[in-house]
């Protein structure tokens, strides 16, 4: 089991414990608790290198599975597409190329723009959740629009087919979408506390 997959499993187990998996009588987890449990899988994807490399806190993207600084001092730039000379598309093509060690490619390769950074690098799951569903921080997207983004955006889809030498997220894109819908349908909770407080 990979480290990330282990973390997902541990997170799910922890969520299960918090929602009634203790020594007392077994009770059905609340709707919110189930939603929060589903979000653990969503968060594990969003915090994977394929997403975090560009959803960074600073102004420089990362690369590789280890989150090392992007070579060539590449920067976000005014539109999230690099600096005027060193643009993302100076090297990244619209699809992966066959050459080993060449840069990966997908349509419209970019970072979030500086005006809407969507920088969840280093955020805890709860803070990530709150950022994700806040239109002021997520590019003005409703939950339905977020779901469509995860389903249809070519750059998101690339993350699950990143080419050789790059680890895909811990769950598949269909699994991500299923867990996202579970979370959304449960009211998009950003904590399991509702299971304790209601």
Partner 1 sequence: MPPTQVVINGTPQTTEAEPRTPLLWVLREEFGLTAAKYGCGVAQCGACTVHLDGDAVRSCVTPLARAAGKQVTTLEGLAHGRLRQAWLDEQVPQCGYCQPGQLMSAAVLLARTPHPTDAEIDDAMAGNLCRCGTYQRIRRAIHRAAQAGSAKP
* Site residues, partner 1 (CB under 8 A): 71-75, 83-87, 89-91, 93-94, 97-103
Among residues 88 and 129, whose Cβ is nearest to partner 1? Answer: 88
104 or 169: whose CB is closer to partner 1?
104
Nearer Cβ to partner 1 (68/90): 90
Which residue, 23 or 99, has its beta carbon nearer to partner 1?
A: 99
Do you know the residue count of the chain?
198
Closest approach, Cβ 85 to partner 1, in A, equals: 4
Nearest approach, Cβ of residue 160 and partner 1 (Å): 22
Whole-angstrom distance, CA of residue 89 vs CA of residue 168: 22
* Encoded tokens for 82: 């690099």
Within its chain, how far is the Cα of 184 from the centroid?
15
174/7 Cα distance (integer angstroms): 20
For partner 1, give the closer residue by CB, 61 or 169: 61
Shortest distance in whole angstroms from residue 24 CB to partner 1: 58
Q: Which residues contact 134 (CB under 8 A, 6 or more apart)?
A: none
- Rounded to a whole number of angstroms, the minimum distance from the CB of residue 105 to partner 1 is 8
CB of 60 to partner 1, least distance (A): 11
Residues with Cβ < 8 Å from 29, sequence gap 6 or more?
16, 19, 20, 37, 195
Of residues 49, 56, 46, 63, the one with CA closest to residue 104: 63
Give the shortest CB-77-to-partner 1 separation in angstroms: 9
Phi-psi region of 101 (alpha: psi -120 to 50; beta: other; left: phi over 0): left
DSSP assignment of 67-84? TEEPGGG----TTSSB-S
User: CB-wise, 2 or 99, nearer to partner 1?
Assistant: 99
Beta strands at 68-69 and 62-63: parallel, antiparallel or unpaired: antiparallel
């Amino acid at each position: 089991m990979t480290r990330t997959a282990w973390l997902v499993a541990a997170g799910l187990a922890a969520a299960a414990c918090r929602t009634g998996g203790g020594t007392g009588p077994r009770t059905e987890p609340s709707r919110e608790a189930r939603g929060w449990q589903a979000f653990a899988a969503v968060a594990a994807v969003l915090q994977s290198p394929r997403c975090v490399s560009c959803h960074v806190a600073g102004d420089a993207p990362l690369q590789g599975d280890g989150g090392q600084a992007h070579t060539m001092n590449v920067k976000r730039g005014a539109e999230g597409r690099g600096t005027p000379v060193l643009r993302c598309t100076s090297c990244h093509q619209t699809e992966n190329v066959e050459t080993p060690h060449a840069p990966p490619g997908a349509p419209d390769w970019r970072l979030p723009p500086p005006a809407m950074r969507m920088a969840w690098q280093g955020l805890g799951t709860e803070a990530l959740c709150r950022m994700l569903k806040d239109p002021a921080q997520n590019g003005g997207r409703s939950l339905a629009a977020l779901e469509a983004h995860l389903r249809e955006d070519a750059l998101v889809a690339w993350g699950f087919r990143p080419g050789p030498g790059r680890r895909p997220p811990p769950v598949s894109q269909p699994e991500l979408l299923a867990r996202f819908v579970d979370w959304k349908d449960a009211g998009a909770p950003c904590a399991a506390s509702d299971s304790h407080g209601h």
